[in-house]
Structure 1
């Protein structure tokens, strides 16, 4: 089959594109790599929908468990940890709590079987929409925290839409998180997800003023440093992350969730660095693993040379409206051969335009991310054909 495709052009119409003949060298590295020694790194993993299930956008998701767990084994084999049941797994956008609970149980069991590191999201999404009391919010958090800890996984206390709606100021956040941290059996990761990822979280920590919200966030950590393994900040603001990172108590990690500035934040500066918990490391797993192995040798320049070119793809996938980045992530998993279809929980495969998807394919192919560029091109042709593009 020809290496040439017709892709949507920026100004309309079509333009020719010739795909790579071979994958990048980093894909040839043997699987089974040890985790990075210099950084703790999690990839927030997507879920694989069951394309044969008769689901609706508003109904519970049906997952292909074999493919979903196989992808997690792919991440562990590259030496990455798995951040499970997070927003990348479509929590609140196709995956309900019942599905997330089963995902946590299955993935935690798989992690034990292969010796992989796993941390799982704890939220309040079992609560039906509507006004809720702070007591109800705490009880929902407690239920999910208990389940995660029963599996032996580390807990990630996710930002809660219900808490954002119920809280009447910073003290509600301080009291809720203090209550949960006192109950946690082991140190947790605190997750601050910005409104660009979920508009319902605007004003989290009790204020739309980010300086005031940051002060409350840091108060919670300072009051319970022994119960906080680290924090994940997803505000797409590198300067704010660095400022917060420098104010953390000793022993509390900063896990970057900044999918726009991750190379510089993980590389760090003379005053410290960030670890990582990133959705973009789902499609970038082999490249990220290769770059981290270079960083382990102390070669920061080599690390940046490998990882910096991926930022254009990441910024494209996470462009506004950012909450739909999952569509591009799943597209790339399909094109790379990790799953057999481009169906998503909640039918979110339709959330991005054809030009957006075509550009994601081109950027990923240019990076050499596809193990079989010919397969990726053939699958991209089939998608283009659905939209009426004749090759």
Structure 2
């Protein structure tokens, strides 16, 4: 039986209510409707008495969720799908194992909806289009190309345009990260290195002359080192930071594997463009997904960093560590020495999908990125990965 709520406060944490009130358009809409801060806010009702979210409310919930977790008109995410996303893909920010009714909370529902959409973007190890994701989200993968799901995508485009016409995304980019910086959310934690990286790893970063020079020049101080952000407020690492994380990770944990810092840094450049969250379907700095990292941790004995949820992979050191471990495993794929070309293509496209046509371009992109991290004073006769 569906759960029914009368007030927003019944299905949101106090912290999330503060974020909603902090949104100018939401607060205006609520105040115009007679709601008041410090009092419970009524959910809107349709003529049949069913609670629903206004476009303004839905937009705010979606933007806060994306900024918080993932750098949709509210559609149901089934209990089975949500539990699978948590159990198999590591989306455990909200624990619904004990209370599946949490799925009726707007922020929880959008969180799992966004996680499912992200999975669809790369399901079956293929990069998928926005149209495929929208049609598959509603009707399942088999109906993504069926004519019956075409109207769904057309309605999606109509609603998307309508929502964007209400307010531009830039307004959220300016507002939301600042709000989340003062909360306990994932995105807020990503504002500073120190909140996501261990004290030991931060000490190691501060011991590197190039890092000290860069951070000091930027006005950073111990205990509160900020990530750099692009124009869309997405946190990323500088090339100095990426290479330093790679050097520390290898010297401390993987020196016997023979992986070079330059190769790791180049892969981060190709996989994630150095974004802390990663890009699209690639999670974290090194683009390592949760199932792969969990397998490396559980079955291959790589346990220098814990990986109990996808959020753990937003730690640059953890992502770099599991990326390096995966490279080492690929170098001996199916029990034999592999070429550098195979290793890179397998890392980016999967070891079972290596082919000149499908994954060959990855190698060229990697070689170009590698030049950014090699010492220009040294001669390089070839590519050295291992």
TM-score by length of 2: 0.24
Query: Whose radius of gyration is greater, 1 or 2?
Result: 2
TM-score by length of 1: 0.24
Greater helix percent: which structure? Answer: 2
Q: Relative contact order (alpha carbons < 8 A, sep ≥ 6): 1 or 2 greater? A: 1
